[in-house]
Amino acid sequence: MRIDHQQRWRFCFGASTPVSALVFALALVVVDRGRGEQGTADPPAPPPSAAESTAQAGEDPDDADAGLIELEGVARAIDLRFQGLVLRLYRLELTGDELRLRVGFQNATGLPIQAFGSLEPGLVWLEETAAGVPDMLACREVDPRLRTYLPEGGLAGGTAVVGELVFPRPPPEQRAWQLVIPGFEALEFSWQADDLQAPAAGLSTLKRHPVGLRVESTEEGLAGVPLDVEAIAIDGRRVVIELGFTNRSPNDLRLNEGGPNGSHLRLITAEGEVIEPVEVGDSLRQGIGPLGEPWRAWETHRGAVSFDLPNPPALGQGAMVFPGYPVIRWRHDRDTGSFTWLDADGGEMAAAPGPAAAGGDVLFNEIREWVEGMNRELRAGDAEALGRRAAPGSEAGIDLAVFLRGLQQVPATEPRWALPPRQELAVDPDGRLRGVELRFEHGLETIDADQSFVTSWRCDLVPRPADQGGGWHLDEIRYHGPPPFWVLGYTGFAQTPHFLLIYRPDTESEDKIHASGAQVERAYQILRQKKLALERRYVAFFVPFREDFQALTGRPAGHYSGAASAMRILDRDGQREVNRAMFINDHRFLVLQRALNLGDRQTTVTHELVHLALADWTRAQTPPWLVEGIAVVYADQLTPGTVRGLRQSGALGEVSLVSLMELGTVGDAGDPRMISAQYVFSGLAVEVLLQRFGADRVLGFYQAFGEIAHEDLVAGLEQVRRDHPDADDREQLRRLRLRLTVDLMPRHFDGLTLTQLDQLTRFQTGR
């Protein structure tokens, strides 16, 4: 009964988009430094001793104990305002009469931390831990970058604010200390003279090092506009990166003001520090392409972006982040000055190929014109001409005929095929063109124009004989995802004030359709009385066959009485939602209701309408217990009988909010006893929240999961991958979902934790 949201994303071109909210949260390169149980920093294996070589050179013995050492210390925040923030110790350096510590405040969560954190010398000190009577050293100087370590606008997930703290140099015999900063655990560290090493040499100077990397955009709105990293130049602390953007789409493009430009490029160092440009070339200052004029096909827009590095050694590994494109990681060899470029999975990236031959785009244009020809014939109602587009005797001919015959019975508006741009087309040696993606889209009469329905096709094309005019024939059609509903026979339509009902005419009588219409309208009125925001009209399918239910929803018909679906897609017009509808599994009610003691159909209709009403905010990261629990409560499915059934089932000890977070959806258990327990427990948890905090705050909590920025989600997933490198994609999503819930709950419910809610829910079972 869960909303099925397939999520895709587009880069927001609004001029008001804050830079801090862009993809800069993708700190993929931050090293997963070891956590000491009490924040202890242990030095690595002893390197060559700088002190020893200094002493041999005849210098003053008092200055012999000098140099630096790389450390890996971490301390957690103990102030609730800074929950999720950690203090990291990267390096200790002894110079003259000073001890300098390089530290960072890192957001270890997947969400921005919105708080104010400042640091002054009088608030920071060192305490000796080895002596009987503790000695203390007051901080002399705080790096300006650390004076406001939680910047305005928040600190993005995975990133850090890094700088140095300066203290008086301690006596030689005192080498075990702890760093004390208010709001954090004390961070212990120690060193030996043999641990110290001479400072590393600065960055190698490369006047211009060719790179030649190309990455394709991850946003459909930028399809056909690859980013080329053409060269990198390094001189001391200055790094200059040369970029190129080419319009490789078949058409001229026009860019909006406020879109991505060179100032949005960020470097992220091994310490998690986000480095902003200090200079952007004129050509990239306003955008990645020309503004106010067409960006011609195959035209390249080039420019340079410069950075100053506060700590050049941290460039040993890092990442380059630009909104709308994959993160590019690197390793830098200080000795040779060379770079190794890595993708998000750590694989080495090869140099980009030279300019592609025009043949690929000629082929794309040819297929696009072929698709437009199909649309012209469809608008003209020329089924015969469309039929001739299938290869004689092929299965595609049969499939296309069934598709067109059913479409004629559908009150479809503006039906059309489209050729999505982000695909590489190539002809096999046998002349066959395989796996061409087509998208068929249409509206429905009486349904708002912005509510479209889309099916995705994968087609194989074969050359059309020259004596038939040349071009292409459809040879095979495969539906990628649910098929068009009319090919399964759903060509019956009925209207109610707020619904378009779709059914199979061969299975539904007039009386049954009238009853179904009454049920959906009653559900609409129930939820309106409960002040749940509803759309003007919805689409409802009534599905009598289990095979049809599974084909249309992707869910096993034996486990679900209904389903609600919505899918987000991206195109050049932006992000939009399609395929919003509810599906009632009448096989369960007509055949299995008595055997399985299922709830009544009216309740299922209301339950699924709740999901449709909340579809705009439902995401993959929304907790399953929240998605289903809110539908259970609003559909009045918590009755004394269902709660008593949970107590008597013996499943109460096997279900918890944390265990429900590990499911893809509530109901994945397969065991009817556990499925029932999961739904009821979810409903009870939401009931507790509603009773204590009210509907507005519960719905605000629900909405918060849908408002999390895409870049913050990606950063959160990367943090999970670093913490759990062996977890598969589904496990990583579950862990991210748990982290987000643990973080958001106290913010919305006066400090209430997930564990506390679980305990209150168990008390609620005794109501």
| DSSP-derived secondary structure for 562-588 | EEEEEEEEEETTEEEEEEEEEEEEHHI
Closest CA to 681 of 757, 740, 736, 751: 757
pLDDT at residue 353, rounded to an integer: 46
CB-CB contact of 275 with 307 (8 Å):
yes
Mean pLDDT within 472-498: 95
Mean pLDDT within 322-332: 87
pLDDT at residue 49, rounded to an integer: 33
Return the bridge partners of 197, or none: 68
* Backbone CA torsion sign across 702, 707, 710, 712: negative
Show the tokens assigned to 722: 């670093």
Q: What is the pLDDT of residues 733-749, one digit of tens each?
A: 889 999 999 999 999 99
Query: Phi/psi at 483 (nearest 5 deg)?
Result: -80, 165
Report H helices in 276-423: 282-285, 359-379, 383-387, 395-407
Q: 508 versus 404: which is more confidently predicted?
A: 404
Residue whose entry in the numeric block shows the structure tokens 């479409």: 407
Q: How far apart are the first and last CA of the chain?
A: 26
CB-CB contact of 137 with 126 (8 Å):
yes
Q: 215 versus 337: which is more confidently predicted?
A: 215
Confidence of residue 360 (pLDDT cuts 50, 70, 90): low
Query: Phi/psi at 748 (nearest 5 deg)?
Result: -95, -20
Which stretch, 110-119, 470-479, 718-727, has highest mean pLDDT? 470-479
Share of the chain above pLDDT 90, in %: 44
**What is the rounded distance in angstroms from the CA atom of residue 179 to the CA atom of residue 183?**
12
Q: 215 pLDDT exceeds 70?
A: yes
Q: How many CA atoms lie within 13 A of 323 on its CB side?
A: 27
Closest CA to 81 of 109, 107, 116, 112: 116
Confidence of residue 575 (pLDDT cuts 50, 70, 90): low
Confidence of residue 487 (pLDDT cuts 50, 70, 90): very high
pLDDT at residue 2, rounded to an integer: 29
Q: Are β-strands 206-215 and 328-332 bridged in parallel, bridged antiparallel, or unpaired?
A: unpaired
Give Cα 537 to chain centroid, integer Å: 30
pLDDT at residue 80, rounded to an integer: 84
Share of the chain above pLDDT 70, in %: 84
For residue 291, how many other CB atoms are within 10 A of its CB?
15
Query: Phi/psi at 607 (nearest 5 deg)?
Result: -55, -50
Q: What is the pLDDT of residues 137-196, one digit of tens each?
A: 999 999 998 998 887 778 887 789 999 999 999 888 778 899 999 999 999 998 888 888
CA 664-665-667 angle, to 5 degrees, is 125
Distances (CA, A) of 711 to 576, 614, 704: 18, 23, 15
Q: 719 versus 30: which is more confidently predicted?
A: 719
Provide the mean pLDDT of the chain.
Answer: 82
Looking at residue 574, its amino acid is G
pLDDT at residue 361, rounded to an integer: 63
**What is the rounded distance in angstroms from the CA atom of residue 325 to the CA atom of residue 15?**
19
Collapsed DSSP state (helix, strand, coil) of residue 535: coil
Return all residues near 495 (Cβ < 8 A) that are at least 6 apart.
446, 501
Predicted structure pTM score: 0.59
pLDDT at residue 597, rounded to an integer: 40
Collapsed DSSP state (helix, strand, coil) of residue 306: strand
**What is the rounded distance in angstroms from the CA atom of residue 237 to the CA atom of residue 14?**
34
| DSSP-derived secondary structure for 188-232 | EEE--GGG-BPPPP-PPPEEEEEEEEEE--SSGGGTT--EEEEEE
Q: Are β-strands 206-215 and 227-235 bridged in parallel, bridged antiparallel, or unpaired?
A: antiparallel
